[in-house]
Amino acid sequence: MMKQTLNIHYEEYASVDQMLPEDQELVAACREAQKGSYSPYSNFQVGAALRLANGLIVKGANQENAAYPSGLCAERVAMFWASANYPDVPFDTLAIAGSDHGVLCESPASPCGACRQVMAEYQKKYKHPFKIILVGSKRIRKFNQVEDVLPFIFDSLTIG
Ligand code: THU
């Protein structure tokens, strides 16, 4: 038996002003996307903004349903829409912000496991790592690839 250690690298910013201009733009876009949240059950508004490799920014927001599992997270709304409408354009960066009753969380809301698995799928589809930015009011985290939010990714043995 050998004990192993896994290191995950990410950048943490105290303010959006410290970020690259293109990241600042994407953070603003995911904040804007939160306005599209339909979350009468949780009152948790999530916005996602996905920059594609062609520069286009696609937005998504969480959509809830009285039959709870029928709703969908903001990230998946954005990623599914992007892949459905621009199937050949890789993802570049995905920014996500979550607010509780309209107030941006101090520590960034983290994507759920299902969304991370979907991120992994698109990284595989496009054979192109993409960045993830998690936005909170006190700190913002930036990851360079999906492996950094989902270590030990499940990868089907039959595809790819
Ligand atoms: N939600 C997201 O939109 N993204 C996530 O990664 C986690 C959770 C949504 C689902 C639900 O509408 C609300 O946040 C509360 O869980």
DSSP character string of 37-94 = -B-TTT-EEEEEEEEETTS-EEEEE-B--SSGGG-B-HHHHHHHHHHHHSTTS-EEEE
Residues of the chain predicted below pLDDT 70: 157-160
Active site residue 32: no
Centre of ligand 1 to C-alpha 33, Å, is 14
Whose CA is closest to atom 10 on ligand 1? 73
Q: Is 137 in the pocket of ligand 1 (CB under 6 A)?
A: no
Per residue in 126-159, pLDDT (tens digit) is 999 999 999 999 999 999 999 999 999 987 765 5
Per-residue confidence (pLDDT) for residue 157, from 0 to 100: 61
Q: Which of 12, 22, 32, 75 is catalytic?
A: 75
pTM of the full structure: 0.96
Helix (H) or strand (E) holding 97: strand 91-100
Q: Is 46 in the pocket of ligand 1 (CB under 6 A)?
A: yes
Per-residue confidence (pLDDT) for residue 19, from 0 to 100: 98
CB atoms within 10 A of CB 130: 22
Q: Is 48 in the pocket of ligand 1 (CB under 6 A)?
A: no
Residue given tokens 């903004």 in the structure block: 49
DSSP 42: T
**For residues 30 and 60, is the Cβ–Cβ distance under 8 A?**
no
Per-residue confidence (pLDDT) for residue 155, from 0 to 100: 78
Q: What is the mean pLDDT of the chain?
A: 96
Q: What is the DSSP string of 100-125?
A: ETTEE-SSPPPPPHHHHHHHHHHHHH
As a whole number of angstroms, the distance between CA 134 and CA 142 comes to 6
